[in-house]
Amino acid sequence: MADTKRSMSVSTRAADSPALTESSAGLLRELVAHLRQNRTQLREEWARRITRAELLTAMTEEEIFAEATAVYDNYVEALETGTFEALQAYSRRLSERIIPRGVETDEVVGIVLLLRDVLARSLFNKYQDNVEKLNRILDSYEPAANRIANTVAVGFVEERERIIRQQQEAIRELSTPVLQVRERLLILPIIGVIDPQRARQLTEQLLRAIRANRAKVVVIDVTGVAAMDSGVANHLVQTVEASRLLGATVIVTGLSPEIAQTLVTIGVDLSEMATVGDLQGGIEEAERLLADRAAPTLGSLASREIAPESQR
Amino acid sequence: MEVPILRQGQYLIASIQSALTDADLSHLREALIAQVGRSRCRGVIVDVTALDVMDSFAVRTLRDIAHMARLRGAETVIVGIQPDVAFAMVQLGLTLKGVATVLDLEEGLAFLDGRTKERGLDLTKPKRPSGRG
């Protein structure tokens, strides 16, 4: 009996692939029927193993069971139809739900692989008397199961990356407010890490704000910057110089002791830069500069003097 | 292309209207320095608002104009550098050190007014070595 079957299967495999796909489709149908039949038992076994492996610790047992049911049904459906769109959509939704709860990538991959193991084990048990058939069943089961595991893992990682991108964008938008304190005085508080891209964006935004607000003095506050290397320091120097080209004086405030030590140790030349200890001091200095210039030289008085002349 | 040099009170205003060749820039420099003496003006304003590119030769010429005009007794101020141009300039290390730069023509006139008044009020005070540090 076994012999004839083996010879038959060999000949079928050798013969042509359509026959093979047909027979493997039949096997897959048989497989799906088996999984449907033993749904309750396999699902429970899987949930048990998830708990035992201490995966999904952020979720309660009921939640794990509920998700397990949904994943199981989607899994079987993907096996049956051979299409992964539904599963993809489900894994995306699942990721959306569980990522905020702190579920890690290894846990998600772990539970899918566990399900794969549980189902493979049940197939072993069912067909252990018929090794030939078991092999063929596994032949059609394994690629599909691997693809499912892949789909779920990729869906999870993609969702994570999407969230990270979204957050980066939010940070980027939030991170560079240029504030006008009073006429001709801007404040640029910098918070967080400065990378080259952000430094560039920061400078561009500041220069545009200087132009739009006709600022004479800018206070850049770096109290919220934890660390600074030579690259960032040079960006700062460039920002100061570019602002000067637009006619604005820059005062840098809030350099922490650590940053001051680093900058001097690595030998960044900040001698061209006006620095004041804290933001309050910086604003006081800026107002002094503005008053200095406004009184005898600049400001509305001077421009009013010129206006009639230029019309002549 | 010729750059028109306008006289406005005590000042000369050179308003660059389009991209200039190196020869045009040299010509502008010569014309300005010649006129500074001829018109006995106290200040020079070079308006670069229309420039969206500033190469090293242009920057050097502007710096030369400032230094030469100072030797002839006039303060120079560069006005209207665009934000993008300023950013590109510092990235190339072209920072116009020692040359006064302000936002626009109005600021430039106000700046020169302040400068000449300063000098007029107190002639014994030594002149500052550079525009505005």
Average pLDDT over residues A120-131: 86
CB of A300 less than 8 A from some CB of B: no
Separation CA B6–CA B20 (nearest Å): 18
Tokens of B100: 């006064």
Q: What is the pLDDT of residue A149?
A: 85
Which residue range forms the structural domain that includes residue B48? 5-118
- pLDDT exceeds 60 at position B27: yes
Rg (CA), chain B: 14
| Phi, psi (degrees; rounded to nearest 5) at B17 | -100, -20
Average pLDDT over residues A283-310: 58
Separation CA B71–CA B81 (nearest Å): 24
Nearest-CA distance from B30 to chain A in Å? 24
Tokens of B17: 């209207």
Query: Which positions in chain A touch B133 (Cβ < 8 Å)?
Result: 272
- pLDDT exceeds 80 at position B59: yes
Phi and psi based region of residue B106 (left: phi greater than 0; alpha: psi -120 to 50; beta: remaining): alpha
Separation CA A84–CA A151 (nearest Å): 8
What ipTM was estimated for this complex?
0.76
Range scoring the smallest mean pLDDT among A122-131, A179-188, A245-254: A122-131
Banded pLDDT at A212 (limits 50, 70, 90): very high
Helix (H, G, I), strand (E, B) or coil at A67: helix
**B126 assigned to some structural domain:** no
Range scoring the smallest mean pLDDT among A74-83, A85-94, B43-52, B120-129: B120-129
Specify the higher pLDDT residue, B38 or A310.
B38
**B127 assigned to some structural domain:** no
**B72 assigned to some structural domain:** yes
Q: What is the pLDDT of residue A280?
A: 92
- Amino acid code (one letter) for A120: A
- pLDDT exceeds 70 at position A293: no
Banded pLDDT at A211 (limits 50, 70, 90): very high
Q: Could A204 and B81 be called an inter-chain contact, meaning their C-beta atoms sit closer than 8 Å? A: no
**B103 assigned to some structural domain:** yes
Specify the higher pLDDT residue, B47 or A40.
B47
CB B12 within 8 A of CB B36: yes
Residue A100 DSSP one-character state: G
CB A116 within 8 A of CB A149: yes
CB of A208 less than 8 A from some CB of B: yes
Q: What is the pLDDT of residue B133?
A: 39
| Residue of A113, A121, A122 whose CA lies nearest to A145 | A113
Query: Which positions in chain B touch A214 (Cβ < 8 Å)?
Result: 103, 107
Domain of residue B58, CATH code: 3.30.750.24
The owner of tokens 């500052």 is: B128
Number of domains in chain B: 1
Specify the higher pLDDT residue, A239 or A300.
A239
Average pLDDT over residues A72-82: 82
Among B9, B95, B114, whose Cβ lies nearest the Cβ of A241?
Answer: B95
**B91 assigned to some structural domain:** yes
Q: What is the per-residue pLDDT across A2-57, written as a single tens digit (0 to 9) for each?
A: 444 444 444 444 444 444 455 667 777 888 888 888 888 888 888 888 888 888 77
DSSP state string for A149-192: HHHHHHHHHHHHHHHHHHHHHHHHHHS---EEEETTEEEEEEES
| Residue of B125, B123, B129, B54 whose CA lies nearest to B95 | B54
Average pLDDT over residues A224-244: 87
Provide the whole-model pTM: 0.59
Query: Is the four-CA dihedral A92, A93, A99, A103 of positive or negative sign?
Result: negative
Separation CA A17–CA A13 (nearest Å): 7
Say what percent of chain A tops pLDDT 90.
16
CB of A24 less than 8 A from some CB of B: no
Query: Which positions in chain A touch B8 (Cβ < 8 Å)?
Result: 309-310
Residue A107's contacts (CB-CB under 8 Å, 6 or more residues apart) are A55, A56
Residue A308's contacts (CB-CB under 8 Å, 6 or more residues apart) are none
CB of A204 less than 8 A from some CB of B: yes
Tokens of A18: 């359509």
CB of A305 less than 8 A from some CB of B: yes
**B32 assigned to some structural domain:** yes
**B106 assigned to some structural domain:** yes
Q: From A273, which residue of chain B is nearest by alpha-carbon distance?
A: B133
- pLDDT exceeds 60 at position A294: no
| CA distances in angstroms from A66 to A43, A97, A178, listed in the order given | 10, 13, 49
Separation CA B98–CA B84 (nearest Å): 21
**B23 assigned to some structural domain:** yes
Q: Could A302 and B114 be called an inter-chain contact, meaning their C-beta atoms sit closer than 8 Å? A: yes
Q: Could B86 and A246 be called an inter-chain contact, meaning their C-beta atoms sit closer than 8 Å? A: yes
Banded pLDDT at B120 (limits 50, 70, 90): low
Separation CA A57–CA A187 (nearest Å): 46
**DSSP H or E run through A222:** strand A217-224
- Amino acid code (one letter) for B83: P
Separation CA B79–CA B99 (nearest Å): 11
Banded pLDDT at A175 (limits 50, 70, 90): low
CB of A231 less than 8 A from some CB of B: no
Q: What is the per-residue pLDDT across B81-114, written as a single tens digit (0 to 9) for each?
A: 999 999 999 989 888 888 999 999 999 999 999 8
